[in-house]
Structure 1
Amino acid sequence: MQPFSVKANDLDIHGLKFGDGKEIVIALHGWLDNSASFAPMLTNVPSNQTWYCIDFAGHGLSSWRSTQAHYYFIDYVDDVYAFINALNIKKVHLVGHSMGAMVAGLFASCFSEYVKSVSFIEGIGCVTTQADEVASQLRSAILNRARITTKKPRIYTSKQQIYQARSKTTDLNDELIALLMDRNIKQMHSGFELTTDPKLKNHSGFRFDEAQCIGAIKELIAPCQLILGDKGYPFVKQNLDKYSNYYNNLRVLEVPGGHHCHMQSSGLCFEHIQAFMLQSSAC
């Protein structure tokens, strides 16, 4: 495991690199997580592979967007495009968890020439807003921005206090929580503070509607697989039911675990991803 930093879209994109082979895999984490979420899977990367697990902008150790900028879902797709081109990579496998899975899918729809395969983990399709709810969505986002802007960063007395806060929103055990959250924590003179940009908690000002999401999915040429946790989030299975028929090539399987099943059943998830990438490369 090696830390790295790449300049992309005038942002310093940090992450963790595993392996040193010619076959390139880019791993994209979920909302408020970071690249360390993939570490449990990557204890024995094949010699022909390199995994770049990035911290999205505003997450982990990567740059925050500018003061007046916000975190639109589509901008993460742009960041992935800039990252791939900064490294001068021609073809990649994409692995995405939760929000990162949705980013991976939309990137593969827009830039199929770059993508060999896509492995979704507990995430598929898009989070959408119905057309007649666009105005209320935007109103909510703007009002929430005002609240976040005036809110002072919270200072924690210890890392354990942060771990305990995260434990209320996840089924991960203490060891996995610490692994994940340590990359989102910085020590200050007065205590500990999160490295994640508070603006990440703003409501989204714009989302695709279902028709737009379906239109994008239909452009996804690369073979895809979805790994579900048997105790995962219900909305993922709801999206699967809603969108599965629109994928050109989608394989679905289930492993033990919750929304972070790639951390809880890391070995099994890695085996499934390896087998799928090998099959996709042979096609």
Structure 2
Amino acid sequence: MNKEIRCEAITLSLPQIELAGISYGDATKPILLCLHGWLDNLNSFIPLVNELSLQGILSHYQIICIDWPGHGLSAHRPGIYPLHWVDYIYDLHATIAQLKLRNSSVSIIGHSLGGIIASAYNAAFANSIDKLVLIEALVPMFESEQNIRSRLVKGIEAQSRFARKQLSQSAKTVDINTAVSARHQLTKLDKPWCELITERNLRSTEVGFVWRSDPRLKLDSLYRLSFSQVEQLMNATGTPSLLVLGTDGYKQLKSLPPKAKRWFNDLKTVLLEGDHHLHMGSAEQVATQIRAFILN
């Protein structure tokens, strides 16, 4: 991290949950809120924040990165109830409301899940954010309506097995190197980036490291929108938006930009060398695109 960056750990005490975060730069400047992806945490934005700082963005904005509930240092949702992606929209709504007590100008950079949540929020609450940057994300995930019954049944059965297991087992210790290697093999993300993310998702105990992240995050959702529902939700927002895709990112995302013309009135799309986490591995190029867009 650039040593000249002024940063501090922050806590956002929302009505429903407590979130951990880090703030970079001058707290009086407009806010650039960074939202990470599924099973990641705010550490995934460190390479991008560093590059944005080097390119002078902190002369114009403060950057705030948060851990979603169940990720990093943020609190978990209570009990062993199933998790629902739409709950993150409520978290984002409460977060923005709290941040606007400091500064009325909030723009968002969202990666993967963070981008999906930001996109859905922006569609539902027009004019709530100034600008939107989506990295390897566009709209909520959707599937055929024919899957609704089977998804619900399989999801409930998986949740029930999980609940029985949680009640009968204590947390298992984790070897950091093994965890980093496993994430590298699964995601193909470079090991230094895997280590950066993994270290914030672990906590030290007397017997070793255990996962901080909520194990329910790995369970399938009980419900997913249909394409027609996504169409109704998006319904063309006028918020200036930038979509950043990686050449080796998720293939299905590359087929959606033509449809996005119906969902966004002001959308610029760029394709850069990189994978799904290109804001880490190609941080300089991504920062250059974001800086030009944000300061336009």
TM interval, short-chain normalised: over 0.9
CA contact (8 A) 1:220 1:247 kept: yes
38-47 or 98-107, larger mean C-alpha shift = 38-47
In the TM superposition, residue 244 of structure 1 has moved relative to its aligned partner by 4.3
CA contact (8 A) 1:138 1:206 kept: yes
Match of 1:99? Answer: 113
1:124 to 120, 123, 138: 138
TM-score between the two structures when normalised by the length of structure 1 = 0.93
CA distance in 2, matches of 1:34, 1:72: 18
CA contact (8 A) 1:141 1:204 kept: yes
Give the aligned length. Answer: 279
57-66 or 248-257, larger mean C-alpha shift = 248-257
Per-residue deviation, residues 197-217 of structure 1 (Å, max 9, x unmatched): 011111111121111111222
In the TM superposition, residue 62 of structure 1 has moved relative to its aligned partner by 0.5
Per-residue deviation, residues 53-107 of structure 1 (Å, max 9, x unmatched): 1100111110100114332111101101101112324331111001111101011
Match of 1:51? Answer: 63
TM-score between the two structures when normalised by the length of structure 2 = 0.89
Cα distance change on mapping 1:157 and 1:198 into 2, 3 Å: closer
Runs of at least 5 residues in structure 1 that lack an aligned partner in the other structure:
none
CA distance in 1, matches of 2:276, 2:259: 19
Match of 2:34? Answer: 27
Q: Give 4+ residue runs of structure 1 displaced > 6 Å after superposition.
A: none
In the TM superposition, residue 241 of structure 1 has moved relative to its aligned partner by 4.7
2:44 to 19, 33, 37: 37
Query: One-letter code of the match for 2:158?
Result: N
**Once superposed, what is the RMSD of the aligned Cα atoms?**
1.7
170-179 or 151-160, larger mean C-alpha shift = 151-160
Q: Does 1:62 align with 2:74?
A: yes
CA contact (8 A) 1:36 1:180 kept: yes
Cα distance change on mapping 1:93 and 1:261 into 2, 3 Å: same
CA distance in 1, matches of 2:171, 2:256: 34
2:250 to 205, 214, 233: 233
Match of 1:16? Answer: 22
Structural mapping, 1:243-254, within 5 Å: 243-254=260-271
